[in-house]
């Protein structure tokens, strides 16, 4: 089994790699040999090779707009291709040409390379595409159903929605077996605070747990759709194993997650870590951020993904516990 991860240096790419490597190490050897796993890790910066991995692993720094690099990556005919690479929302909005250049042209160049190479021989990889809830925008119901129209209100969301359409058409054409996952906001994101407008959803949990202050820029009534990095990795792994026929010509799926208010997040934090840590949450209303967040989906009714076996935490304490277990060696920091 040869797995290519494009965008392997990002948070999800690293966690996915870790999950694949752990499973390989945990699999009992059969007659002296493990199921051989081969990994190719690509990103715009060189991804770290996983420590202790017994299989073949190649790392490559390249861009999706570099045709030679794509030819080389796809020319190896991986069985599974994860496409997690993207210019993020804020940057795609600030830099029109860069966002379209990578998120649309790059995605299409990847799909076209698969098509060209597939024309020459019988090879049909699984392609797992990281889409986003940013494909939704404008007015929508509190719980968005699976058959709701995609009307993104950002260029990033537009590019992801176009990626979904291309994925579905290339899949329908038999060029590859695509699965698109509309990923929820990931919480609790490990690491340092970043400047994403959604960063505070993680910050108000992560920083207090680590004895540091976090800024809350929106009212506690703000409702959002989030799941743990652990669930996101499960989505990516499960997508690689789905029976293509089960997707019924609609290979793009809204992933399950938890619809929860900021106030409920804070209450869960109190239950897990005690009232003391809550003093680290500094309420500093920011109208610009509140306006952006108000345009985001508040919840979904992801029946198709649930029927296909995708699962996510149904309470926020479990999401906090996943952070403590996965990022803090299981001990409250």
250 is a contact residue toward a second copy (CB under 8 A):
yes
155 is a contact residue toward a second copy (CB under 8 A):
yes
Quickly list DSSP for 274-313. -GGGGGGEEE---HHHHHHHHTS---EE-HHHHHTT----
110 is a contact residue toward a second copy (CB under 8 A):
no
User: By C-beta, is 92 or 204 nearer to a second copy?
Assistant: 92
- To the nearest whole angstrom, how small is the minimum distance from the Cβ of residue 206 to a second copy? 33
68: Cβ contacts below 8 Å, ≥ 6 apart:
none
- To the nearest whole angstrom, how small is the minimum distance from the Cβ of residue 230 to a second copy? 29
On the 0-12 / 13-18 / 19+ scale of CB atoms within 10 A, 321 is middle
Instruction: Give the residue numbers marked as catalytic.
Output: 156
137 is a contact residue toward a second copy (CB under 8 A):
yes
- To the nearest whole angstrom, how small is the minimum distance from the Cβ of residue 307 to a second copy? 14
* Residue from 35, 43, 37 nearest 14 by CA: 43
* Interacting residue with a second copy among 150, 258, 305, 322 (CB under 8 A): 150
- To the nearest whole angstrom, how small is the minimum distance from the Cβ of residue 252 to a second copy? 8
Q: What separation in angstroms does the CA of 328 have from each of 119, 205, 209?
A: 48, 13, 10
- The alpha-carbon radius of gyration of the chain (Å, integer) is 20
User: With contact defined as beta carbons under 8 Å apart, do 65 and 28 qualify?
Assistant: no
* Interacting residue with a second copy among 37, 102, 162, 289 (CB under 8 A): 162
User: By C-beta, is 155 or 265 nearer to a second copy?
Assistant: 155
| Separation CA 302–CA 268 (nearest Å) | 24
Chain contacts with a second copy (rule: CB under 8 A): 96, 115, 137-140, 146-153, 155, 158, 161-162, 165-166, 168-169, 172-173, 248-250
């Amino acid at each position: 089994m040869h797995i290519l991860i494009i965008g392997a240096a990002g948070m999800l790419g690293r966690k996915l790699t870790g999950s694949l490597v752990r499973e390989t190490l945990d699999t009992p050897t059969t007659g002296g040999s493990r199921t051989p796993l081969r990994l190719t890790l690509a990103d715009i910066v060189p991804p770290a090779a996983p420590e202790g991995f017994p299989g073949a692993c190649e790392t490559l720094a390249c861009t999706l707009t570099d045709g030679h690099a794509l030819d080389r990556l796809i020319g190896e005919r991986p069985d599974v291709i994860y496409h997690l690479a993207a210019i993020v929302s804020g940057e795609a909005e600030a830099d029109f040409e860069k966002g379209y250049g990578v998120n649309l042209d790059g995605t299409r160049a990847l799909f076209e390379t698969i098509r060209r190479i597939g024309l020459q021989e019988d090879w049909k990889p699984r392609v797992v595409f990281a889409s986003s809830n940013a494909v939704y925008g404008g007015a929508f119901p509190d719980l968005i159903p699976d058959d709701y129209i995609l009307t993104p209100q950002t260029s990033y969301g537009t590019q992801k929605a176009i990626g979904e359409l291309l994925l579905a058409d290339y899949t329908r054409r038999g060029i590859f077996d695509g699965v698109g996952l509309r990923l929820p906001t990931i919480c609790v994101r490990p690491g340092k605070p970043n400047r994403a407008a959604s960063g505070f959803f993680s910050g108000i949990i992560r920083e207090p747990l680590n004895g540091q202050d976090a800024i809350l820029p929106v009212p506690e009534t703000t409702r959002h759709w989030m799941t743990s990095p652990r669930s996101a990795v499960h989505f990516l792994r499960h997508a690689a194993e789905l029976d293509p026929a089960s997707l019924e010509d609609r290979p793009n799926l809204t992933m399950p997650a938890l619809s929860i208010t900021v106030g409920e997040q804070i209450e869960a934090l109190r239950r897990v870590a005690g009232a003391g840590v809550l003093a680290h949450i500094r309420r500093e209303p920011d109208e610009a951020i509140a306006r952006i967040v108000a345009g985001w989906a508040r919840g979904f009714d992801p029946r198709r993904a649930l029927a296909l076996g995708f699962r996510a935490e149904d309470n926020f304490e479990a999401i906090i516990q996943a952070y403590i277990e996965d990022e803090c060696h299981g001990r409250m920091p």
